[in-house]
């Protein structure tokens, strides 16, 4: 064989090897199970969004963990393996099995293992209902079960040539903006409840509280639309600056930042602003909230601020020394902040003290009890140790261009803009690890310590406490208006009289001699 033929053959082998490695890393936008297991991961599911790949693109994702709806999982553990049966799994007829069907399927599987002389154990788990909502640039809204990947419903709103903002979600409804039309859908079925035209031009995705759809506009106003009274005129809040990001909603508050460095915290039950924070530069990312009622926000001024929602005060602030345009992510006892110079800071939630810094890290994706996942400076999927920030591995992201920053659980949501989505989790973690306190975030139960009425101009810090003093401030001995201590009468009269009316400098009674206008005679007589 000639040298030329050997060279051609070697080149062909390298091309095939490269194609094989590329396919192993990402085939049609998916992470292969073989590649995932190399890094301690396994795919949960993959699905395709119902869009035209030639024209449509994924625009926004929204991960929602229900605080009221739960589903039952049955886990069959055998040896080092386990298998999960969910009430949402489909039966032979393509219908959800329900709790009884899932339990029956788990028992049948355990029975088959027993016939093979394999010991097994069945355990049941109550898991919150988790849904992934997708919007596309062709006005499609699609709801996907975030634990199975099954499409729950899909619907089109408005006109396809109008921009469609990402969905706002609460326990009952999904709100979507198409152009200047606000659509309210039922969360279970996707049916349209009502459609309204916004007063202003929407500037960002809406948010949904238990009473309102909250819409930030280009004029700086934040508009509130009643969920149950669609004909009622909307209320609005005035802001110093414009809010270009989705507001944050809790059981007690509606929170939004502006490009002039203001963070407003308004009551979610009444049309009042409770307090505000003024940063030194613009705030360009939504605030995050973590129990017990703490608000975290970062600014372009490089500071991370921690506010107490229930007592209207600043707890701490931390300076990173570089601008921040992303949302701080609270998980467990830590707070993760990514700066624009690609550093990941891990702070203590309680005190704001620095735990560690990881360089060359530009986007947070997810966190498990042991690991942090994100995108590094070279666009690879970086895996860090949660305790030290040290790098565990670096994984090729292949053709993936959708990386959802999941602040609520340990699930890694990735995909392509052309419509492929995939969920990954760590091996052995079939049940999601949540980073939210569902009782704290349940909209129907406002925090009892939050005051509903507050001066809109109230400072962010509490007023200083009065000095410890056992004296009655209204006691006669200390009354500033007491006759004995009256600065305008008696011996202390600055106009020169005694305690007698005869000393009245303006001519009262016998004091005419002291009248500056000429004795006792009335100068105006």
409-442 pLDDT, tens digit per residue, is: 999 999 999 999 999 999 988 889 998 876 554 5
Q: Is residue 14 part of a domain?
A: no
User: Scanning the structure block, which residue is given the tokens 């998980």?
Assistant: 331
Report how far residue 332's alpha carbon sits from residue 335's, in angstroms, rounded to the nearest whole number. Answer: 8
Report how far residue 468's alpha carbon sits from residue 396's, in angstroms, rounded to the nearest whole number. Answer: 63
pLDDT at 476 over 70: no
Band of residue 228 on the pLDDT scale cut at 50, 70, 90: very high
Token pair of 371 as six digits: 């690991």
Report how far residue 434's alpha carbon sits from residue 427's, in angstroms, rounded to the nearest whole number. Answer: 16
Q: Is residue 487 part of a domain?
A: yes
Number of domains in the chain: 1
Token pair of 43 as six digits: 């795919």
Consecutive H or E run containing 19: helix 3-25
Q: What is the pLDDT of residue 409?
A: 94
Q: What is the pLDDT of residue 138?
A: 92
Over residues 467-472, mean pLDDT: 42
Q: Is residue 510 part of a domain?
A: yes
Band of residue 212 on the pLDDT scale cut at 50, 70, 90: very high
Band of residue 95 on the pLDDT scale cut at 50, 70, 90: confident
Residues above pLDDT 70, as percent of the chain: 78
pLDDT at 191 over 50: yes
Q: Is residue 229 part of a domain?
A: no
Q: Is residue 448 part of a domain?
A: no
Q: Note down the domain range covering 497.
A: 476-514
Q: What is the pLDDT of residue 439?
A: 59
Q: Is residue 493 part of a domain?
A: yes
Q: What is the pLDDT of residue 28?
A: 67
For 103, other C-beta atoms within 10 Å of its C-beta total 17
Q: Is residue 355 part of a domain?
A: no
Q: Is residue 65 part of a domain?
A: no
Q: What is the pLDDT of residue 204?
A: 94
Q: What is the pLDDT of residue 399?
A: 87
Which neighbouring-strand residues pair with 61?
134
What does the mean pLDDT of the chain come to?
Answer: 82
């Amino acid at each position: 064989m000639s040298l030329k033929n050997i060279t051609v053959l070697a080149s062909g082998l390298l091309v095939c090897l490269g194609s094989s490695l590329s396919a192993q890393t990402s085939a049609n936008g998916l992470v292969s199970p073989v590649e995932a297991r190399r890094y301690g991961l396994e795919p949960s599911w993959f699905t395709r969004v119902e869009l035209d790949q030639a024209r449509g693109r994924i625009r926004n994702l929204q991960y929602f963990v229900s605080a009221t709806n739960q589903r039952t999982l049955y886990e069959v553990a055998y040896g080092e393996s386990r298998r999960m049966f969910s009430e949402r799994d489909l039966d032979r007829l393509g219908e959800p099995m329900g709790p009884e069907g899932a339990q029956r399927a788990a028992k049948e599987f355990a029975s088959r293992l027993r016939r093979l002389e394999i010991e097994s154990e069945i355990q049941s788990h109550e898991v919150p209902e988790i849904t992934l909502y997708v919007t596309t640039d062709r006005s499609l809204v699609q709801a996907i079960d975030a634990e199975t990947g099954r499409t729950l419903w899909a619907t089109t709103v408005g006109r396809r040539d109008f921009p469609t903002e990402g969905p706002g979600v609460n326990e009952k409804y999904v709100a979507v903006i198409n152009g200047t039309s606000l659509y309210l859908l039922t969360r279970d079925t996707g049916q349209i409840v009502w459609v309204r035209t916004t007063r202003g031009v929407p500037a960002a995705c809406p948010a949904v509280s238990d009473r309102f759809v909250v819409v930030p506009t280009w004029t700086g106003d934040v508009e509130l639309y009643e969920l149950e009274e669609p004909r009622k005129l909307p209320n609005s809040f005035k802001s110093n600056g414009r809010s270009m990001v989705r507001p944050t909603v809790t059981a007690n508050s509606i929170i939004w930042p502006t490009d002039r460095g203001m963070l407003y915290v308004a009551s979610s039950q009444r049309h009042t602003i409770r307090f505000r924070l003024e940063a030194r530069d613009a705030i360009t990312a939504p605030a995050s909230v973590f129990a017990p009622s703490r608000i975290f926000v970062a600014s372009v001024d490089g500071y991370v601020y921690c506010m107490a929602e229930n007592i209207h005060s600043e707890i701490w602030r931390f300076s990173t020394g570089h601008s921040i345009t992303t949302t701080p992510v609270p998980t467990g006892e830590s707070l993760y902040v990514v700066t624009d110079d690609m550093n990941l800071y891990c702070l203590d939630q309680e005190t704001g003290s620095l735990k560690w810094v990881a360089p060359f890290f530009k986007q947070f994706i997810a966190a498990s009890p042991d690991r942090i996942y994100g995108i590094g400076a070279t666009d690879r999927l970086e895996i860090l140790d949660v305790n030290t920030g040290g790098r565990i591995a670096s994984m090729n992201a292949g053709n993936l261009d959708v990386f959802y920053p999941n602040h609520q659980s340990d699930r890694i949501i990735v995909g392509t803009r052309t419509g492929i989505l995939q969920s990954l989790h760590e091996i052995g973690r079939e049940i999601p690890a949540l980073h939210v306190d569902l009782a704290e975030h349940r909209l129907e139960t406002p925090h009892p310590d939050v005051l509903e009425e507050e001066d809109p101009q109230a400072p962010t810090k509490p007023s200083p406490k009065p000095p410890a003093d056992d004296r009655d401030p209204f006691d006669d001995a200390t009354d500033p208006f007491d006759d004995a201590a009256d600065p305008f009468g008696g011996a202390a009269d600055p106009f020169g009289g005694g305690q007698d009316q005869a000393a009245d400098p303006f001519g009262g009674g016998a004091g005419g001699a002291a009248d500056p206008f000429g004795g006792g005679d009335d100068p105006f007589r």
